[in-house]
Every structure is written in C-alpha cells, then in structure tokens.
Amino acid sequence: MSNVLTSIEQFLYRMSEFCDRQQWDEYLAQFDEDSEFHIPQWDSEHVHTTDPKREMSLIYYPDRAGLEDRVYRIRTGKSAACSPMPRTLHLISNVQGEEQEDGTWQVKVNWVTHFYRFGESEAFFGRAEYRLRPDGDSWKIRRKQSILLNDKIRHVLDFYHV
C-alpha cells in the first residue's frame, strides 16, 4: 500500500507542477473526460453544501469540458479575471488514501496555494478529496472536490487556485 500512496503523492505533485507552470494540456490530461470538479460553498460556519446540482457552489464542472473551457479562455485572453495570470505555488500535505471496492482510490489531502498578482502575495488553503483510478503507471482523476477554508476572499477564485 505504501508504494501506491507514494505513486499517488507523485501524481499529485506533478499535477501541482503542471498547474504552477501553466502546462494546461498536461494538466487537463490528468482528468477523465467525465471527471467532476467541485468547490462547494459554505452553508454555515462549519457546514458546506454537498449537492452541486441543487445547492450553491463556488465552482462546479460536471465534466472535464468545464476545465477545458476555462483553459481556452485563459489561452485566448477572453477571461479578464485571468489577465494577467497570477503566479502560483501549490503545496500538498497529509496525503491519505484508501482503495475502494471498484479499484479506484479515495484520497484526501491538505493544500495551500500561494499566488502573486499585481504586486500582492496571498494564499488560499483547504482540504481536497480525489477519486482516482489507475491508468497504466499513473492515475486519472474521476472526481475532485476542494473545500476552501478561507472563503472570505478579495480576489477572483479559479480552478488554478485550488
């Protein structure tokens, strides 16, 4: 099991690097076409929403096409919120995983993303849960849910912040 968790950690570190270096094709390739990406909204101080189809979310993409659209807007300059793109540095810690009956892995991590834009440096932080499936010597993301713990934010939140 430790070899599997090491492999998962390395996968997540590569994902972070792809995002930080804005290597969008490599980043997107880590997601299954039907993978879900969800950042729920807080319902109260300690309870967040759970159903993105019925409750508010900070970000919700039911499949990879949502991420592809965001990347398209970034690349073409059609997203004013991303111009200029911030510099980011993703840090991941406390990686824990458990194999599921269907052969996928449920993985939990803590994360911090430092970002720099317009002469200011700030950070978002939280917890994330991934559903990963084996893909040859690596993994594919079936689902990513990030819980943003500092959701009182002064800047636009986007997928590359989490």
Residue 109 is part of a domain; what is its CATH number?
3.10.450.50
Among candidate residues 115, 109, 72, 71, the one with its CA nearest the CA of residue 90: 115
* Structural domain for 78, as ranges: 2-161
Q: Supply the pLDDT for residue 155.
A: 73
Q: How confident is the model at residue 1 (pLDDT cuts 50, 70, 90)?
A: low
Q: Supply the pLDDT for residue 78.
A: 80
Edge-to-edge strands, sheet with 57-61: 57-61, 31-40, 138-148, 120-135, 105-117, 87-99
Q: Supply the pLDDT for residue 89.
A: 97
CA distances from 69 to 58, 64, 72, 130 (A): 17, 9, 5, 21
Q: Which residues pair with 132 in a beta bridge?
A: 105, 141
> If you average pLDDT over every residue of the chain, what do you get?
93
Give the predicted TM-score (pTM) of the model. 0.93
Q: Supply the pLDDT for residue 84.
A: 84
Share of the chain above pLDDT 70, in %: 99
Q: Supply the pLDDT for residue 60.
A: 96
Please give the average per-residue pLDDT across 24-29, as a whole number.
Answer: 98
CA–CA dist 103, 135 (Å, integer): 11
Share of the chain above pLDDT 90, in %: 82
Tell whether the model's pLDDT for residue 119 goes beyond 70.
Answer: yes
Q: How confident is the model at residue 22 (pLDDT cuts 50, 70, 90)?
A: very high
Nearest 5°: CA angle at 17, between 15 and 23?
Answer: 85
**Tally of structural domains, the chain:** 1
